[in-house]
Structure 1
Amino acid sequence: MPLGPDSLTWKYFGDWRGVLLAPWAGAMQNMHPGLGAGVAEHSRFFEERWQRLFRSLYPIGGVVYDGPRAAETARQVRGYHNTIKGVDAQGRPYHALDPDTFYWAHSTFFMLTLLVADRFGPGLSEDEKRQLFDEHVRWWRLYGMSMKPVPESWAEFQTYWDRMAREVLEDNQPTRDVLDIRLIARPPAFSWMPHAVWRALRGPQARFTVWFTVGLFPAPVRERLGHRWTVRDERRLRRIGRLVHHAWRLVPFRYRYHPRARAGWEREAGLRPADAPQVESPVRNSPLPEERNSPKHYVPPPHRPPQPPSAQGRR
């Protein structure tokens, strides 16, 4: 059963504050051996960071906000991972649809939602954290994947998360690449900014982003990646979190959410027809031209090149 507007996941997952945690989510995901290997061999993320980030928000957000069509969106997201498989540099086979690997990615989206609410929102009680955990299980079921890797409770999930951080996650090149944003391109939202100004701001912005991201890592992950975190750092991060929370309350409700999430809220409020076309990513976020016919990419229908009937049947 899909989630709805009564859920905490709806309240926080599609919130634009989640973009602040994009480097955190990318690094945590890539530290998983199977997921990191798939990114290293199959992804061109680092050639189109902003486009990939903003493009991915549409189908991933749709699994939460598409209502009656959420299960269909989930099948599409799962389908993008069918061909991502191989053997890593240490001879270990991997597949993006291995339930443990796919669930790890899903668990980071759950934790991102929790962190947005708890560290950059009003805060969460233990009951609310348990509610978010139960909702993430409903969200997971939409993918039609095995339930075997899913912990039974919020308490068991915390044990799982700690074990992954201490025993499973690895320091690898895709993780280092996520955190290396010294030469990152100008964000689309800053297209008005002269390139020279962006180049001057990029260094301080990169240092702040890495510091901010490191502060949200579990302690064992920070240590594995060679970062220090002091009591003073923690106090500064918590002050920033409170500032973000109070500033965000001044933003009108409809502007707080990503377009796919906003469409869900509008549909539930009767402001958008239930059968209206899905809100899709604009063409500026499309994959690199030579990648647009790949089954591993979400490309909005108007921009996807025609495919032979055999390829259409496989999706």
Structure 2
Amino acid sequence: MTQVETVAKAPHLPAPGPDSVTWKYFGSWRGMLMGLWSGSMQNMHPKLAAGVWDHSDFFGERWERLMRSLYPISGVVFDQTPATGREVRDYHLTIKGTMENGERYHALDPDVFYWAHATFWYGNIRCAEAFGPPISEADKRALFDESRAWYAQYGVSMRPCPDTYEEFLEYWDHMCRHVLRDHAAVRTVLDITQLPPPPWMRGWMPTWLWRRQVAVVGRLFMWITTGLYDEPIREMMELSWTDADQRRFERFGKVVNLVMNLVPARYEKHPRPRDAVDRVAGRVPADAPLLETPARNLPSGVERDNPIHYCPVTAARRANLPWQSNEER
């Protein structure tokens, strides 16, 4: 890998727009059910896991990191400006080091960076297959085509990007069978039993009550994640999955889809994607500043000066709770 390849100019492809399939599927709260799948799949890449383990405080502030990261990650698509993609790329400039086997890693190694992107865009397909809305083969292929334009927003080498959807599926299978590995970072992602309450719950949720329910929720999410894994991943992680599990998983997914269909379309989206939809509809002025994460999700102390973090200490507009208007204070 060379520095030139790492930050090579990508083709000038516009991000998927309001009429795209990506806008239809990406940014839904259904994706929260994919959280452990996405985080663990990313950290199964040995070099990505090394970077997280050595440089990130993700495991010390998991809720805050997750909830604030949704803004720039979704913004790469929904902000409709290449600046957001470059911003996300630059958070990774200093993440580099040496693995235990002596091999060097860098977060902007094209093969590493593309793997993270693959889990984001392909996660839309896996989410729709499991939890709805129903997705057609044509939409899957459109998502793949649009994923290339999405990836181009980062301004990094396009070398790892497959050219066709069929090639991507071969790439994914190869990664699952031959590249991905178990790692302490993976197991830490999957263990949510020590998580504190989310920041917005801490003012009213007693710790003892949270501890009791998170143990139950942890088992449920581990079961969901096992159902989402490809079979080679289950085998590697030594996770059991029976035909009965699969039937229950499919029924669970139908219930999720039924419930989410009752949610007004605007409120099914995370705040940043919802704000983008509102701009298109004229509910938010086209020139309004971008919507940033609530202050409760910001890093604490000296970490606010760490260049690996998205940390809008000052913001003209901040999001609120999911069921509130973005303009409420």
TM-score range normalised by the length of the shorter chain? over 0.9
Q: 1:121 corresponds to which residue?
A: 132
Secondary structure at the aligned position of 2:159 is classed as coil
Aligned partner (choices 24, 27, 42) of residue 14 of structure 1: 27
Structure 1 residues 228-276: Cα deviation after superposition (integer angstroms, max 9, x where no partner): 1111111111111110101111111221111110110011112211111
Q: Aligned partners of 1:129, 1:260: CA distance in 2, in Å?
A: 23
Deviation at 1:301, TM superposition (A): 4.4
Match of 2:259 among 232, 247, 256: 247
Aligned residue for 2:11? none
Counterpart of 1:307 in structure 2 is none
- The whole-number CA distance in structure 2 between the counterparts of 1:272 and 1:65 is 14
Contact 2:298 2:313 in 1 (8 A): no
User: What code does the residue aligned with 1:89 have?
Assistant: E
Q: Which of 77, 100, 112 is residue 64 of structure 1 equivalent to?
A: 77
Aligned counterparts, 1:48-87, within 5 A = 48-67=61-80, 69=81, 71-87=82-98
Between stretches 169-178 and 181-190, larger displacement belongs to 181-190
Shift of 1:203: 1.1
Give me the whole-angstrom Cα distance separating, in 2, the residues matched to 1:60 and 1:199.
30
* Whole-angstrom distance in 1 between the partners of 2:293 and 2:233: 33
CA displacement, residues 41-65 of structure 1 (integer Å, 9 cap, x when unaligned): 0011111010000010000110010
5 Å matches for 1:60-209? 60-67=73-80, 69=81, 71-191=82-202, 192-209=204-221
TM-score (normalised: structure 1): 0.93
> How far apart, CA to CA, are the structure 2 residues paired with 1:98 and 1:61?
22
Q: CA RMSD in A?
A: 1.2
Between stretches 6-15 and 152-161, larger displacement belongs to: 6-15
User: In the TM superposition, what is the alpha-carbon distance from 1:193 to its structure 2 partner?
Assistant: 2.7
Match among 291, 297, 302 for residue 303 of structure 2: 291
Moved beyond 6 Å, runs of 4+ = none
DSSP 3-state at the match of 1:302: coil
Structure 1's unaligned 5+ residue stretches are: 304-315
1:234 matches 2:250: no
Q: CA deviation at 1:123?
A: 2.0
Unaligned runs of 5+ in 2: 1-13, 316-329
CA deviation vs aligned residue, 1:176-231 (integer Å, no higher than 9, x gap): 10011111111245443322211111211111111111110111111111111111
Do 2:110 and 2:157's aligned partners in 1 also have CA atoms closer than 8 Å? yes
Assess if the C-alpha contact under 8 Å between 2:64 and 2:297 holds in 1: yes
Give distance in 1, aligned partners of 2:72 and 2:243.
38
The number of aligned residues is 301
After superposition, the C-alpha distances for 1:133-186 in whole angstroms (9 at most, x for unaligned) are 011111001111111100111111000000000000011100010011111111
- The match for 1:216 among 202, 223, 228 is 228
Paired letter, 1:181 = I
Partner of 2:132: helix, strand, or coil?
coil
AA at the equivalent of 1:37:
A
Residue type of the partner of 2:275?
A
8 Å Cα contact 2:193/2:211 also seen in 1 = no
After TM superposition, list the pairs within 5 Å mapping 1:250-269 onto structure 2.
250-269=262-281
More moved, 114-123 vs 100-109:
114-123
Distance 1:290 1:104 in 2: 30
Match for 2:97: what amino acid?
A: G
Percent identity (aligned): 51
Match status 1:45 vs 2:58: yes
- Does residue 271 of structure 1 match 2:258? no
Matched residues in 1 for 2:36 and 2:300: separation? 21
Q: 1:235 to 1:121 in 2, by over 3 A?
A: same
Quote the offset at 1:110 in angstroms.
0.9
Could you state the TM-score of these two structures normalised by the residue count of structure 2? Answer: 0.89
